[in-house]
Structure 1
Amino acid sequence: MNDSRQIAGTVAVPRQPAETPAPKTRDAFFDNAKYFAIVLVAMGHAWEPLRDSRTVLALYMTMYAFHMPAFIIITGYLSRNFDGRADRVQRLVTGVVVPYVIFQIAYTLYIRRVQDNDSTYLAMYEPRWLMWFLLALLIWRLTIPLWKAVRWPVPLALCLAAVACMQPSLSDDLQIQRVLQFLPFFVLGLVLRPEHFRMARHRVVRLLALPVLAVTALAAYWAVPRGMRYTWFYHRESAQELGQPWWMGIVATGLIFAVSVILTVCFFALVPGKHHWFTKLGAGTLYGYLLHGFLIRGAQWLDLYDADVMNEQPGALLIATAVAVACITVLCTPLVQRLFRPIVEPRMNWLFRREERPGPAHRAGAS
């Protein structure tokens, strides 16, 4: 009898073990962009006590026009694959919900301590300071299926933002003003493709980036004594609460969105695309974001900004900037990530059901 391995004169080749898929590599550009964006966040918070200076306030306004929009656009772009799958929902819970609960409590107690406040009030639906971003991120990601389904996602998100900006009756619960007014940037990130970021880093755009940022800073310097309110860029109040008529909510939403996108493109144009010593820090930006607030509040509590050197310009600005950059850089390092991972990115496998993968017979449709 012929060898069972021979069929029509052909020797069957033994089955080779399946190749293990290569691990996905991180994109250096996005890690670099995340690192520089979180550096700008820390710098902005460090500059807040120095806003009596016209120069500092102009720089502060320029930065706030694009640093959070840039961070949110990146977040939206990196959230494109969220589809409600079990492992991604688990990641949403452990990487967003749990850190929100932990740090909401921690910041409430910490701020209460530094302000000598004996109140026992704790509301999980009223985000404390930095915590609005985590709550917003949770809401934005849960709505991703909607933005993937509608025909014009960005215009629709802008309409919602404009409506929010015209509604002073919206409460502070869930920081809903910020959730809705920053929403267009997240949705924009969802619809962007790799080629859009390559276009932003075109040589011509890179040559124009610094001049555009400089002109914007000069325009802010001109606008400061003429009543321009930097709080527009916080996106946390309606037009009426900022002393403007309701229709300014529509105008401001469109205008600020356009300016923020242009400045964000300039920011992306200046971000290096290759691996550098700071590239690996882009994976730790959530740690830097959640932890640096304790240092900022602590510095204000200790009256460090009242020292003689901090009352002199531009020395105060340079010192605050250097300290902010150094601190946020340390907080994004792998060592800090390892130390704080149990509360920032806990595994919590005990909370979730283990997925059962079908065996070969089930995959083949056998009974």
Structure 2
Amino acid sequence: MTTTAAASAPAAPRPKVRIPLWDNARWASVALVVIGHAIQRQTSDSDNALTLYLFIYAFHMPAFAIISGYFAKADPPTGRSMRRLIGDILVPYIVMQAIWTFVQWLVEGKNSFNPTQPHWTLWFLLALGIFRVVLPYLVQLRWPMLWAVLFAVGVGYFDNVDSTFSLSRAIGIAPFFLLGWYLRKWPIVDWWRRAGAGVVWGVRAGAVAVFGAWFAVVYVNITPFREFDLRYWFFYDDSFKGLGENEWWAGLLRLGLMLFAVLLSAAFFALIPRRETWFTAFGQATMYIYLLHSFVLYPIRETGILKDEHASATWLLTMVLASVAIAVVLASPLVQRVFRPIIEPRVDWLFVERDLRRPGPRRTDPMGSRRR
């Protein structure tokens, strides 16, 4: 009788096994975000800084969106998923927006709290929220990727779709989110994780060639790229008219840049280590790095010390190394303990129907990182 009862009892759920490839990719992509923001002030006085900036910006946010999309779910909305959306995205967004408003009031004398205009890095939180809301509906359509691309290209022709609630950027990078969601359904990731050494090194050699060619193109054409303001095309937050190209073919240019971003993102993922590394654990704290690094960089950027002679190659390398250090420190357990009430607030008290269950090891944040 005991044997029968034991046999009929449901098996305990297996703990979720983390995949080092994704933790490595998360940390590497957010480190590129920090580097891009750190050297931005140097780009006006340094061609070297602008070269590195364009090299990174061509793919780093699309790659970040692909990772976030990989861990997104297209299940019909439930009470729990809606509470998670509020607790994981909306509440941290409001809190961080309020903190940024206070900081800017102290430093710059600005006195306006406007939740419709996200401060600096906060646009990505809203884009994540919009994508999570739209995804279950989008995948009900035939050819969802086609529709996502059409919207991303077409939105550039409308001047009234702007950075309010980060709508223009959310629509512009939606195809990358969706591509990440598709990757979870396709066998390519599992194939890559199990690929032999010969295949891996062959693919990585191709990835190095792709990156090398892109860097050479940027380096050789840095002057026309600066005059064209190419970097603004990588932001997805302005209309084609606002970018200075109100011609019919502007949409084709955006489409080409999107396809190129996919190629560069593929090269980026190919170069990411598949096994555990010294930075694998840091990939479980990407939300902390992403939301907090701007406060570290803000005084450096606003004091103007990265202008003129401080835009030299030596200072550029210094900022790159400092950015890597920032991405390491902000992922530390101490920082997570101190800032968890802000980054991962417990807001069960906010809901009519409270979820009293403790979140298990399967809970992840919107970027796929582990939540405690």
TM > 0.5:
yes
> What is the match of residue 65 of structure 1?
58
Give the distance between the partners of 1:199 and 1:246, measured in 2 at CA.
42
- CA drift of 1:351 comes to 2.5
> What is the match of residue 179 of structure 2?
188
Change in Cα spacing, 1:141 to 1:55, as seen in structure 2 (3 Å) is same
Residues 200 and 266, structure 1, Cα contact 8 Å, conserved in 2 = no
- 1:48 is the counterpart of 2:77: no
Percentage of pairs with the same residue? 33
Q: Which has the larger radius of gyration?
A: 1
Amino acid at match of 1:192: L
Alignment of 1:316-327 (within 5 A): 316-327=315-326
Give the distance between the partners of 1:260 and 1:205, measured in 2 at CA.
17
Instruction: Give the counterpart of 2:26 among 27, 34, 38.
Output: 34
- CA drift of 1:106 comes to 1.1
> What is the match of residue 124 of structure 1?
115
Change in Cα spacing, 1:125 to 1:343, as seen in structure 2 (3 Å) is same
Change in Cα spacing, 1:224 to 1:306, as seen in structure 2 (3 Å) is closer
1:268-301 per-residue CA deviation (whole Å, 9 max, x = no partner) reads 0000111122111111101100000011111123
Give the distance between the partners of 1:217 and 1:228, measured in 2 at CA.
17
Larger deviation: 68-77 or 164-173?
164-173
Give the distance between the partners of 2:141 and 2:191, measured in 1 at CA.
25
Give 3-state SS (helix, strand or coil) of 2:238's partner.
Answer: coil
- CA drift of 1:354 comes to 4.1
Residues 173 and 236, structure 2, Cα contact 8 Å, conserved in 1 = yes
Instruction: Give the counterpart of 1:15 among 2, 5, 9.
Output: 5
- CA drift of 1:232 comes to 0.5
Residues 41 and 307, structure 2, Cα contact 8 Å, conserved in 1 = no
Residues 89 and 125, structure 2, Cα contact 8 Å, conserved in 1 = yes
Change in Cα spacing, 1:246 to 1:306, as seen in structure 2 (3 Å) is closer
Residues 32 and 279, structure 1, Cα contact 8 Å, conserved in 2 = yes
Give 3-state SS (helix, strand or coil) of 2:277's partner.
Answer: coil
> What is the match of residue 343 of structure 1?
342
**RCO comparison, higher one (Cα < 8 Å, 6+):** 2
Change in Cα spacing, 1:135 to 1:356, as seen in structure 2 (3 Å) is closer
> What is the match of residue 243 of structure 1?
244
Amino acid at match of 2:49: V
Change in Cα spacing, 1:113 to 1:199, as seen in structure 2 (3 Å) is farther
Amino acid at match of 1:224: I
Alignment of 1:149-160 (within 5 A): 149-160=140-151
1:115-134 per-residue CA deviation (whole Å, 9 max, x = no partner) reads x22x4221111111111111
1:31-52 per-residue CA deviation (whole Å, 9 max, x = no partner) reads 1100000000000011111112
Task: For structure 2, list consecutive stretches of 5 or more residues without a partner in the other structure.
Answer: 194-198, 358-372
Give the distance between the partners of 2:128 and 2:172, measured in 1 at CA.
13
1:136-160 per-residue CA deviation (whole Å, 9 max, x = no partner) reads 1111100111222112111111100
Change in Cα spacing, 1:355 to 1:285, as seen in structure 2 (3 Å) is closer
> What is the match of residue 268 of structure 1?
269
Change in Cα spacing, 1:338 to 1:15, as seen in structure 2 (3 Å) is same
Change in Cα spacing, 1:350 to 1:296, as seen in structure 2 (3 Å) is same
CA RMSD of aligned residues (A): 2.2
Task: For structure 1, list consecutive stretches of 5 or more residues without a partner in the other structure.
Answer: 6-11, 358-367
Give the distance between the partners of 2:203 and 2:122, measured in 1 at CA.
34
1:58-79 per-residue CA deviation (whole Å, 9 max, x = no partner) reads 2211110100000001101100
> What is the match of residue 330 of structure 2?
331
Larger deviation: 286-295 or 191-200?
191-200
Larger deviation: 159-168 or 19-28?
19-28
Give the distance between the partners of 2:272 and 2:284, measured in 1 at CA.
16
Amino acid at match of 1:228: F
Instruction: Give the counterpart of 2:70 among 52, 58, 77.
Output: 77
Give the distance between the partners of 1:80 and 1:192, measured in 2 at CA.
12
Residues 34 and 71, structure 1, Cα contact 8 Å, conserved in 2 = yes
Residues 348 and 356, structure 2, Cα contact 8 Å, conserved in 1 = no
Residues 286 and 331, structure 2, Cα contact 8 Å, conserved in 1 = yes
Give 3-state SS (helix, strand or coil) of 2:242's partner.
Answer: helix
Q: Aligned pair count?
A: 343
> What is the match of residue 218 of structure 1?
216
Alignment of 1:134-213 (within 5 A): 134-193=125-184, 195-198=187-190, 202-203=199-200, 204-213=202-211
Change in Cα spacing, 1:199 to 1:211, as seen in structure 2 (3 Å) is farther
> What is the match of residue 363 of structure 1?
none
Larger deviation: 54-63 or 94-103?
54-63
Change in Cα spacing, 1:90 to 1:169, as seen in structure 2 (3 Å) is closer
Give the distance between the partners of 1:195 and 1:333, measured in 2 at CA.
33
> What is the match of residue 277 of structure 1?
278
- CA drift of 1:80 comes to 2.8
Change in Cα spacing, 1:208 to 1:97, as seen in structure 2 (3 Å) is same
Give the distance between the partners of 2:289 and 2:356, measured in 1 at CA.
36
